[in-house]
């Protein structure tokens, strides 16, 4: 990345300040909104102590209601806070940019891109009334900021990486996915029906295939979801025609076959043996 290109990006700390400032203004409109895109990924990374990234703009979703839309909020910000926002026009579309003073006292205009699901009817993931599009509220510099959850971000980043194949943003999407996989619960992201996107991720980032199979549901590509056994404290399942379990490093291992007892089993880190009982459909402690 060239020095001039790098300078256009905000540091994570600068981004947080810009988002907090933006949220204070939008909150005055009574619009419901949520930070999305690379800005949301940066917030989640910082909150969880994961490797950080940079971005040059702020994406957010507005929940349409009455006269409130993404376009109306864009206009409202420009008209009501002319010293805090400037208009930026690209490809014939005008969007607001928030005025932000950097640590070196230079002034940067951070572009704000807003979306709503009425203007983008093919993107139901922007509907904040849908419980599947969950958000979390994070306090930044004393300001409460709604941000899409790590689960939502992971789902959308996997899809957009496939949609943006060959572009510069594909790489940042794939990098986000690799990090966000660490931030979600097992079997929490359902991508059934997005098989091409999941397959694309595996081809581009084969090292994440194990944790991907744990966190994401996509039976056609990943097989059946892993099962959790409380007593053994292990994830296990059939992968193809083989019984496997995951160790603490999310690496899969095959069960062993005991010819005398005619059972599939494995040893846990404490030296206990567990076997698969077909009748119970679960793991049983071998005593």
- Residue ending a domain, choose from 130, 148, 166: 148
d(CA 150, CA 43): 10
> Is residue 54 within 8 Å of 60, Cβ to Cβ?
no
**Considering the chain, what percentage of its residues have pLDDT values greater than 90?**
84
Lookup: tokens for 216: 């994401």
* pLDDT of 184 higher than 60: yes
Residue % of the chain over a pLDDT of 70: 97
**How far apart, in whole angstroms, are the C-alpha atoms of residue 112 and residue 205?**
30
Structure tokens at 140: 């930044």
**Statement to judge: residues 161 and 282 lie in one domain:** no
Same-domain pairing of 113 and 187: no
Across the range 51-74, mean pLDDT stands at 93
Q: Which of the four pLDDT bands, split at 50, 70 and 90, describes residue 4?
A: very low
Domain boundary among 148, 180, 205: 148
When divided into structural domains, the chain yields a total of 3
State whether 65 and 167 are in the same domain: no
Burial 33-58 (b: 16+ CB within 10 A, else e): bbbbbbbbbbbbbbeeebeebbbbbb
Same domain (yes/no): 38, 18: yes
Asked which of 181, 197, 222 is the last residue of a domain, the reply is 222
- In this predicted model, what pLDDT tens digit does every residue of 83-116 receive, in sequence order? 999 999 877 788 999 998 888 888 999 999 999 9
Question: pLDDT digits over 266-286, tens only?
Answer: 999 999 999 999 999 999 999
Using DSSP, state whether 209 is helix, strand or coil. helix
Report the relative pairing of strands 57-62 and 33-36 from DSSP bridges.
antiparallel
Please tell me the distance from the alpha carbon of residue 159 to that of residue 196, in angstroms, as a whole number: 9
Looking at the structure, do residues 144 and 13 belong to the same domain, yes or no? yes
Query: CA–CA separation, 88 vs 153, rounded Å?
Result: 27
My answer on whether 18 and 101 are in the same domain is yes
How far is the C-alpha of 165 from the C-alpha of 183, rounded, in Å? 24
Q: pLDDT-based confidence at 77, cuts 50/70/90?
A: very high
Q: Is 267 helix (H, G, I), strand (E, B) or coil?
A: strand
- Look up the pTM and report it: 0.89
Are 276 and 163 within one domain? no
Same domain, 68 and 116: yes
Dig out the tokens for 69 from the structure: 């839309």
43 shares its domain with 139: yes
Range of the domain at 107: 3-148
Give the model's pLDDT for residue 101.
85
42 and 99 fall within a common domain: yes
- Residue 8 is predicted with a pLDDT of 65
Res 90: pLDDT: 76
At residue 53, what are phi and psi to the nearest 5 degrees? -135, 175
Average pLDDT over residues 2-20: 75
Residue 7 — pLDDT band, cuts 50, 70, 90? low
Q: Range with the lowest mean pLDDT among 42-56, 122-136, 142-156?
A: 42-56
For residues 9 and 139, membership in a common domain is answered with: yes
255 shares a domain with 197: no
Q: Is the dihedral of CA 120, 54, 40, 160 positive or negative?
A: positive
Radius of gyration (C-alpha) of the chain in whole angstroms: 23
Q: What's the pLDDT band for 27 if we cut at 50, 70, 90?
A: very high
Question: What tens digit of pLDDT does each residue of 236-264 get?
Answer: 999 988 999 999 999 999 999 999 999 99
Average pLDDT over residues 56-82: 96
Q: What average pLDDT score do residues 44-49 get?
A: 88
């Amino acid at each position: 990345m060239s020095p001039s290109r790098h300078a256009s990006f905000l540091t994570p700390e600068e981004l947080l300040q810009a988002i907090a400032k933006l949220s204070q203004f939008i909150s005055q409109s009574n619009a419901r909104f949520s930070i999305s895109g690379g800005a949301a990924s940066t917030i989640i990374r910082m909150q969880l102590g994961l490797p950080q990234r940079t971005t040059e703009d702020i994406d957010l979703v507005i929940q349409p209601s009455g006269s409130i839309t993404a376009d109306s909020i864009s206009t409202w910000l420009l008209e009501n806070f002319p010293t805090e926002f400037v208009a930026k026009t690209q490809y014939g579309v005008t969007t607001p940019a928030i005025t932000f003073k950097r640590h070196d006292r230079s002034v940067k205009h951070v572009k704000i891109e807003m979306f709503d699901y009425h203007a983008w009817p093919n993107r139901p993931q922007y509907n904040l009334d849908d419980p599947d599009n969950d958000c979390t509220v994070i306090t930044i510099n004393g300001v409460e900021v709604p941000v899409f959850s790590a689960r939502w971000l992971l789902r959308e980043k996997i899809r957009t990486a496939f949609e943006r194949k060959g572009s510069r943003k594909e790489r940042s999407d794939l990098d986000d996915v690799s990090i966000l996989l660490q931030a979600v619960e097992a079997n929490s992201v359902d991508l059934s029906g997005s098989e091409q996107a999941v397959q694309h991720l595996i081809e581009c980032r084969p090292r994440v295939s194990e944790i991907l199979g744990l966190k994401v549901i996509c039976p056609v590509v990943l097989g059946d979801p892993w099962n959790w056994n409380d007593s053994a404290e292990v994830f296990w399942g059939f992968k193809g025609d083989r019984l496997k379990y995951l160790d603490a490093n999310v690496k899969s291992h095959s069960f062993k076959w005991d010819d005398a007892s005619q059972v599939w089993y494995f040893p846990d880190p404490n030296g206990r043996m567990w076997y698969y009982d077909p009748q119970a459909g679960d793991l049983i402690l071998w005593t």
